[in-house]
């Protein structure tokens, strides 16, 4: 079933949240478009700021000082601003206190940098329902968040956590690509367990590792190629007694990718 993309779910949910909380402000680094629901509902709290460079950070600082909750959606490409490197743009906004939304394509190079930011929850939700829940949580929280959301067509990624059958492995999915691959592998081998990570920052990943450690055995992580190694390193350091393997999840996984997951689980 096709649902809203991560970005569209974010825009829709933030618009609803802003109807209940007048402190919520939306800033986008792309050129203004007519179909933005937040602008239509709350034009006095929406700002389209392409190519603004450090001005965006200054606006975030001012909004925070005035008691607002700024959400900054960073658009990939030239709209991120020519005066400031993309990494500096989202990093400076986070440090100024904004919740930043960025694309999976522009994010992985900065994973370690976000991870080291103390007190910044890092979320990579999957599917419309999970994305909406993460946006609501970020709006309620006093902390700035980093949300990694895609622009592509959404897909229903509903799933239920499951413990593995005896003598089988557990899949740990990260991101939309990783979750699609894990679900496809479980459809082929229902006995596999499945745990799904939404938050990847140091504090919340450590808490998740405590839960994961209650089941000892092999784990196979499925995640986008550029994200896989950092996640593997983080989990292996927290689960030293377990075998933690990884399989890269391409944008469009096929049968060969599923077989690679099954082979890793059986190894």
All domains of the chain in start order, with CATH: 2-148 (3.40.50.970), 159-261 (3.40.50)
Q: 164-213: per-residue pLDDT in tens?
A: 565 578 999 998 889 999 999 999 998 899 999 999 998 899 999 999 98
Structure pTM?
0.87
Q: 91-114: per-residue pLDDT in tens?
A: 889 999 999 998 876 665 566 777
| CA distances from residue 8 to 35, 100, 131, 144, 188 in whole angstroms, order as listed | 11, 15, 10, 20, 31
* Whether the Cβ atoms of residue 26 and residue 14 lie closer than 8 Å to each other: yes
Q: 30-78: per-residue pLDDT in tens?
A: 766 678 999 999 999 999 887 666 788 899 999 999 999 999 998 765 4
State residue 72's pLDDT score. 95
CA distance 37 to 8: 9
């Amino acid at each position: 079933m096709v649902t809203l993309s991560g970005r569209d779910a974010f825009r829709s949910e933030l618009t609803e949240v802003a109807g209940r909380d007048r402190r919520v402000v939306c800033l986008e680094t792309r050129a203004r478009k007519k179909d933005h629901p937040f602008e239509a509902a709350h034009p006095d709290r929406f700002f389209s700021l392409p190519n603004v460079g450090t001005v965006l950070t200054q606006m975030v600082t001012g909004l925070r000082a005035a008691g607002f909750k700024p959400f900054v959606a960073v658009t990939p490409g030239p709209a991120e601003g020519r005066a400031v490197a993309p990494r500096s743009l989202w990093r400076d906004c986070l440090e100024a206190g904004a919740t930043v939304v960025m694309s999976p394509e522009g994010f992985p190079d900065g994973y370690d940098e976000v991870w080291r930011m103390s007190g910044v929850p890092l979320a990579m939700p999957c599917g419309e329902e999970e994305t909406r829940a993460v946006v609501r949580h970020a709006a309620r929280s006093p902390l700035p968040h980093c949300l990694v959301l895609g622009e592509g067509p959404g897909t229903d990624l509903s799933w239920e956590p499951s413990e593995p059958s005896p003598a089988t492995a557990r899949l740990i999915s990260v991101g939309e690509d990783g979750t699609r691959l894990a679900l496809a592998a479980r459809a082929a081998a229902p006995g596999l367990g499945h745990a799904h990570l939404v938050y990847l920052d140091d504090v919340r990943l450590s808490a998740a590792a405590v839960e994961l450690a209650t089941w000892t055995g092999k784990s196979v992580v499925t995640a986008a190629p550029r994200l896989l190694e950092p996640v593997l390193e983080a989990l292996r350091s927290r689960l030293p007694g377990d075998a933690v393997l990884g399989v890269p999840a391409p944008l469009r996984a096929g049968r060969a990718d599923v077989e690679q997951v099954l082979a890793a689980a059986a190894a």
